[in-house]
Structure 1
Amino acid sequence: MLDIIKNDPWLAPFNEAIEGRHSYYLKRLSDLTQNGKITLSDFATGHLWFGLHRTDEGWVLREWAPNATEIFLIGTFNQWQRMESYRLKKRDGGVWEVKIPSERISHGDLYKLHLTWPGGAGERIPAWAKRVVQDEATTLFSAQVWEPEQRYQFRHSHFKADLSPLLIYETHVGMSTEEEKVGSYNEFREKVLPRVKENGYNAIQIMAIQEHPYYGSFGYHVSSFFAPSSRNGTPEELRELIDTAHAMGIAVIMDIVHSHAVKNEMEGLGRMDGSYDLYFHSNPERRYHQAWDSLCFNYGKDEVLHFLLSNCKYWLDEFRFDGFRFDGVTSMIYLSHGLGEAFSNYG
């Protein structure tokens, strides 16, 4: 019998269901770690492979799009034209890849993918893009090459959160200013962090970090899971905010959204390769979240778990977040999404 049931006798009537879920978890863990040959952390390294990367030989971009029949990298570096030298080649497992000489792509360049699939075609932002910006004139989003000459260097690498007790201040960077505008990472670092410290908090929980097209969603309709919202500033400025918080003894928790995704196609994961179920469920009723007007991930697919777990590791390693608050957990674990459930008893 599991300890959770030993410690709470009221769960005894549900022992079979709980044991079943636990057994399934152990099986999936074994599958993902190759029966223990690698760790879950080893598995969660997709961000080091997929997306756009600068290497000693130049640039390489990889994307998972098994339903695509043709993919081109387009951007400001080739006048947004489909050129043969920017054509991706299909590899095993539905993965596409292109290698580009170093001099052809520069920091700050904008880019997208142009995909063709059976019965259609369209432009898409790469799923693993680490920087996405919006054009003020057209309001269209594009991925942006982010390889600054000077990356922010963390000064407080050995920060340990104070857990006795953890006093959390929940915040939204964009809404943290008294002015009628979207607040920035720098303004939050300079003006809000000192007040948080002064009032005795030792942790902040930041909402709306992941890029999202609709500001009114409070950051919960995520489109680019690896890109910090450009409304608030640059990735380096977010890194400095977190490092400064650590210098003040303040832990930084990320309000991460893995329960659903925005249904947008041009700037989201919706129909990334023309199919409806690349990251989401094949069954339309399970794919679409009626209450949130968004798409629900299919956690039964290894590729989806690879994407989401890599996303967690990315934010921990690249930005030094101290942990996560997972949004919409009831939607992740219940077929009903928890809608209409009071959760006031054990029945």
Structure 2
Amino acid sequence: MAHDQFGGLTGWDLEGFHGGGDTEVWRRLGSHVVTVPDDERGEVTGVRFAVWAPNAKSVQVIGDFNWWTGDPMRLVPGSGVWATFIEGLGEETLYKFRIETADGTWIDKVDPMARFSEQAPTNASIVYESRYAWSDDEWMARRREAQAHREAMSIYELHLGGWRRNKSYLDLAEELVSYIKWQGYTHVELMPVAEHPFEPSWGYQVTGYFSPTSRFGKPDDLRHLIDKLHQAGIGVIMDWVPGHFPKDEWALGRFDGTALYEHADPRQGEHMDWGTYIFNYGRNEVKSFLVSNALYWVKEFHIDGLRVDAVASMLYLDYSRNEGEWVPNEFGGRENLEAIDFLRYVNRHLYEREPGVLMIAEESTSFPGVTKPVHQGGLGFGFKWNMGWMNDTLRYLQLDPIYRQYEHNLLTFAMVYAYSENFVLPISHDEVVHGKGSMINKVPQDDWRKFATLRAYYSFMWSFPGKQLVFMGCEFGQRPEFNESVSLEWWVSELWGHGGLQRLFRDLNMIYRSSPPLYRLDSDPAGFSWINADDNAHNVLSWIRHDGEGNHVACLTNFSPEPLRDYEIGLPLAGTWEEILNTDAPIYDGAGEFGNLGEVTAVEQPWGHFPARANVTVPPLGSVWLRRSDAQ
């Protein structure tokens, strides 16, 4: 052979992969169009294929270029990686790996490092090289300087296929960007976009970790969508699933006939609840694979943050297991020490490599220090979903108002631990599926009360310490549960109640983003003061948000169907307080009968721990926000 049979790949190139320290392994494994020296012709171009299969007897690459019959691959010296270079091949080539296991069985596998794949039900890997020219330099420069904890963050979570059916990445680059900009969210969060064969898994059962799903177009089309969001000033968070992967025989599971990416022992390597395999976080090559995957999305697709799915299932060896179904760690405990080390590794590495990136944990337990820096003994995430706040407030929301006075603590308890972590308040897809009911259908009584209560609830949420996340369709009160196979019911936003709620969300976002007291000190107790935490008799909560620079927003929410007139409150400053939000306003389909004529006057008379007091009207099942600054 006149040229290098491995396409320039050497055992030296793979040392980092085998040592757990190669965080850009997609550059070495998988398929790449490369040009290599040739003794006779100077150089030749083709595709280099490389795959990790250390326990295979032999490996072939099969594809449309050889009628799926197989070209032999060879072990790169000093590694468990098989590779070959095939001259003349280029982009759009379809291929798989045919692996002979130790017992002589042949299995066909898709490429774990494929950067593009066929759309289900077919699954071949596709040779792909990006040629995308980004236009988001301004956004990326600002991201590197960002201080997320001190900035506004309201996140719109969506499933690309269910937002509007049959829309491509390119369609969404127009329609989704326009809608998000109009609504005023700072970020979108995409449910997993990595390739997955089973649509009802919503992307949480990944078979192509480096391959954007081809349901909506090519990888560069997704880059275009992200670019357009960035140009519109909108950040992009992506759900990332390093906790488990499906058992499809053609994907990662038992890749070379042995447990390669997963633990061999089902007590460590299988999720019984989900019918999936668990990654072996202690194996160096698996660490290289997963950390590389996280960096790949951030670096190659300009993703601004990863929301890490099912962190609780990673942290505990006995997660959803009975006695005898799990293996204790080396100290006899239930913590998965290898997974903890891996999470610290990936968080530390991404924050070092890509300053300003967001790492967000979906973590439902009381595991300490999820958002504490790694060097201080924490896991190193930037934010954690506040599942306790979500569960408590939704329980309260579903109560008939007459019973809410007895469960007042459901709304106040979150302040006990509000500063133990950096929190995102999530009303996610998980809350509107599987019989839980849509948000509008969680609320008791008639439509007037349902919509008024939702307006009050979301205003309560947007003014509470923590960043906000809401799932698509909630912003206009969609009645059916989330169903990935149909579009949202956009037509209802033209109807009474639905349209008002949608307009409220727009104003919540606009007022929130223009009011630093509502976000600047989310992670600092100095940013919050109770006015009255104990008025359970009226189902009312009231507090002040501060920005540390002399600006204040007073937030009052009445979860009773009775209006409050001349409701006395304490305030930190005397003078005129502007009414910047009233959820009873006609524009939100409220009655328009219970307001403060645009302002409230506070007089210098002590009230509780405040130097001033005022009388306020708070609408039934409604919220009022008042704003004042020291400079006035």
Q: TM-score, normalised by structure 1?
A: 0.80
1:132 to 117, 140, 143: 117
CA distance in 1 between counterparts of 2:261 and 2:366 reads 33
2:256 to 241, 248, 273: 273
Match of 1:285 in 2: 267
Counterpart secondary structure, 1:264: coil
CA distance in 1 between counterparts of 2:311 and 2:273 reads 15
Shift of 1:344: 6.4
CA distance in 1 between counterparts of 2:249 and 2:161 reads 25
CA distance in 2 between counterparts of 1:343 and 1:153 reads 42
Match of 2:132 in 1: 152
CA distance in 2 between counterparts of 1:106 and 1:62 reads 15
Shift of 1:145: 1.5
2:98 to 92, 100, 114: 114
Match of 1:88 in 2: 73
Shift of 1:174: 1.0
Counterpart secondary structure, 1:56: strand
Overall identity of the aligned pairs, in %: 35
Deviations 1:246-280 (A, max 9, x none): 000001111111110111121x20111111x1000
CA distance in 2 between counterparts of 1:130 and 1:269 reads 15
| Residue 217 (1) aligns with residue 201 (2) | yes
Match of 1:20 in 2: none
Asked if the contact 2:32/2:127 (under 8 Å) is kept, the reply is: no
Counterpart secondary structure, 1:314: helix
Match of 1:7 in 2: none
Shift of 1:285: 1.9
Inter-CA distance 344–89: structure 2 relative to 1 (3 Å threshold):
closer
Counterpart secondary structure, 1:299: coil
| Residue 54 (1) aligns with residue 41 (2) | no
Asked if the contact 2:119/2:213 (under 8 Å) is kept, the reply is: no
Inter-CA distance 147–33: structure 2 relative to 1 (3 Å threshold):
closer
Shift of 1:187: 2.1
Shift of 1:345: 9.3
Counterpart secondary structure, 1:122: strand
Counterpart secondary structure, 1:78: coil
| Residue 199 (1) aligns with residue 176 (2) | no
Shift of 1:339: 6.9
1:165 to 152, 164, 172: 152
Match of 1:29 in 2: none
Shift of 1:130: 0.7
Which letter does structure 2 place at the counterpart of 1:152? Y
Inter-CA distance 326–342: structure 2 relative to 1 (3 Å threshold):
closer
Inter-CA distance 253–344: structure 2 relative to 1 (3 Å threshold):
closer
Which letter does structure 1 place at the counterpart of 2:60? F
Which letter does structure 1 place at the counterpart of 2:34? T
Matches within 5 A, 1:240-255: 240-255=224-239
Match of 2:220 in 1: 236
Asked if the contact 1:171/1:204 (under 8 Å) is kept, the reply is: yes
Shift of 1:158: 3.8
2:86 to 91, 100, 121: 100
Asked if the contact 2:187/2:234 (under 8 Å) is kept, the reply is: yes
CA distance in 1 between counterparts of 2:94 and 2:316 reads 39
Asked if the contact 1:253/1:324 (under 8 Å) is kept, the reply is: yes
Inter-CA distance 121–247: structure 2 relative to 1 (3 Å threshold):
same
1:294 to 246, 252, 276: 276
Asked if the contact 1:210/1:222 (under 8 Å) is kept, the reply is: yes
Asked if the contact 2:32/2:129 (under 8 Å) is kept, the reply is: no
Asked if the contact 2:117/2:195 (under 8 Å) is kept, the reply is: yes
Deviations 1:185-228 (A, max 9, x none): 12221111111111111111111211001000010000010000
Q: TM-score, normalised by structure 2?
A: 0.45
Deviations 1:141-187 (A, max 9, x none): 10012136xx221011341347411111111111110xxx4432122
Asked if the contact 1:169/1:205 (under 8 Å) is kept, the reply is: yes
Larger radius of gyration: 2
Q: Which moved more, 1:189-198 or 1:153-162?
A: 153-162
2:365 to 332, 335, 343: 343
Which letter does structure 2 place at the counterpart of 1:66? P
Which letter does structure 1 place at the counterpart of 2:33? R
Counterpart secondary structure, 2:124: strand
Give the CA RMSD over aligned residues: 2.4
Inter-CA distance 241–342: structure 2 relative to 1 (3 Å threshold):
closer
CA distance in 2 between counterparts of 1:345 and 1:318 reads 32
Which letter does structure 2 place at the counterpart of 1:98? T
Asked if the contact 2:132/2:223 (under 8 Å) is kept, the reply is: yes
Q: Which moved more, 1:181-190 or 1:220-229?
A: 181-190
Unpaired runs of 5+ residues, structure 2, are 1-15, 37-44, 323-362, 369-632
Inter-CA distance 117–124: structure 2 relative to 1 (3 Å threshold):
same
Q: Using CA pairs under 8 Å that are at least 6 residues apart, name the structure with larger relative contact order, 1 or 2.
A: 1
Which letter does structure 2 place at the counterpart of 1:95? V
Deviations 1:67-101 (A, max 9, x none): 1111111101111112xxx2110122311110111
Asked if the contact 1:330/1:338 (under 8 Å) is kept, the reply is: no
Q: Any runs of at least 4 consecutive aligned residues in structure 1 with deviations exceeding 3 A, and if so which?
A: 338-346
Which letter does structure 1 place at the counterpart of 2:237? I
Asked if the contact 1:126/1:143 (under 8 Å) is kept, the reply is: yes
Aligned length: 295
Counterpart secondary structure, 2:172: helix
Inter-CA distance 236–286: structure 2 relative to 1 (3 Å threshold):
same
Counterpart secondary structure, 1:220: coil
